[in-house]
Amino acid sequence: MPDAINPTLALLHRHRSIRRFTEEVVSDDDMTHAVAAAQMASTSSAVQAYCLIRVNDDAKRKRLVALTGDQIKVARCGAFLVVCGDTRRHRLVAERSGQPHHQNLESFMIATIDASLFAQNLAVAFESLGLGICYIGGLRNHPREVDELLGIPFGVFPLFGMCVGRPAEGPTARPRLPIDAVLFEESYPDDRTMLAALDRYDAHYVEYLKERDAKATPWSTRIAERFDHLEREELAVYYASKGASLT
């Protein structure tokens, strides 16, 4: 298996989302090294449309536990980070030079994609330092309250959180889609081919769950349930209120 090819590929393969951490605080050195490396990620025309807020304060962390859906790990990790799309710097320099500042879906996507590339480099950097991470999509549950708690102004869009810390568990990795359901040659496959690949995946996924005495629900069933209703219905109105344009 590719684990042996080089240390970085091996590191990527070892990734597991970590949900239980020791009490060790992430050091400023580790934080600085990881962020500096993360900033080297590609960014659209160097706009660097992202920022990171580290939350140490106990009371704020406790409030964030509640806001993210009672995720205790948000308080019990070595560092909690809020990853934001950031168009405010761009607004500030435009205002100062008296130029207009325009936004549309393209600029919102640039911020979202830039921030995500940065965040994934950050995750890899932390893991290279022996730390574990978990993304917290639940940060989008109550974004207005997150704004108020952290003084996040107009033009800055909280996207997700990240727990970081010394792992206190060693979970197994959930199997991913088979590569032929992800990487296509020349064109997108037809539905029949895709469904056949997903059937194989379901069988593999159920086998994995059974081995762990977990409820053997196929991936397909979980996915259909996940999208049979809407979640976070206020998000578009919220981001628009922060200066994003989704048109």
Pairing of strands 79-86, 156-165: antiparallel
Within 13 Å and on the Cβ side, how many CA atoms surround 131? Answer: 26
Shortest Cβ 168–a copy of itself spacing (Å):
18
Instruction: Decide: is 233 part of the binding site for a copy of itself (CB under 8 A).
Output: yes
Instruction: Decide: is 172 part of the binding site for a copy of itself (CB under 8 A).
Output: no
- CA–CA distance, 18 with 163 (Å, rounded to integer): 8
Q: Site residues for a copy of itself, window 2-21 (CB under 8 A)?
A: 2, 5-9, 11-13, 15, 17
Compare residues 7 and 170 and give the one whose CB is closer to a copy of itself.
7
Which of these ranges, 19-27, 64-72, 152-160, 164-172, lies near a copy of itself under the rule CB under 8 A? 152-160
- CA–CA distance, 99 with 196 (Å, rounded to integer): 54
Instruction: Decide: is 116 part of the binding site for a copy of itself (CB under 8 A).
Output: yes
Compare residues 6 and 22 and give the one whose CB is closer to a copy of itself.
6
Q: Site residues for a copy of itself, window 200-219 (CB under 8 A)?
A: 219
- CA–CA distance, 166 with 195 (Å, rounded to integer): 39
Instruction: Decide: is 39 part of the binding site for a copy of itself (CB under 8 A).
Output: yes
Residues 6+ away with beta carbon under 8 Å from 108: 85, 157, 239, 244, 245, 246
Residue 162 buriedness (CB in 10 A; 0-12 / 13-18 / 19+): buried
Which of these ranges, 19-27, 62-70, 156-164, 209-217, lies near a copy of itself under the rule CB under 8 A? 156-164
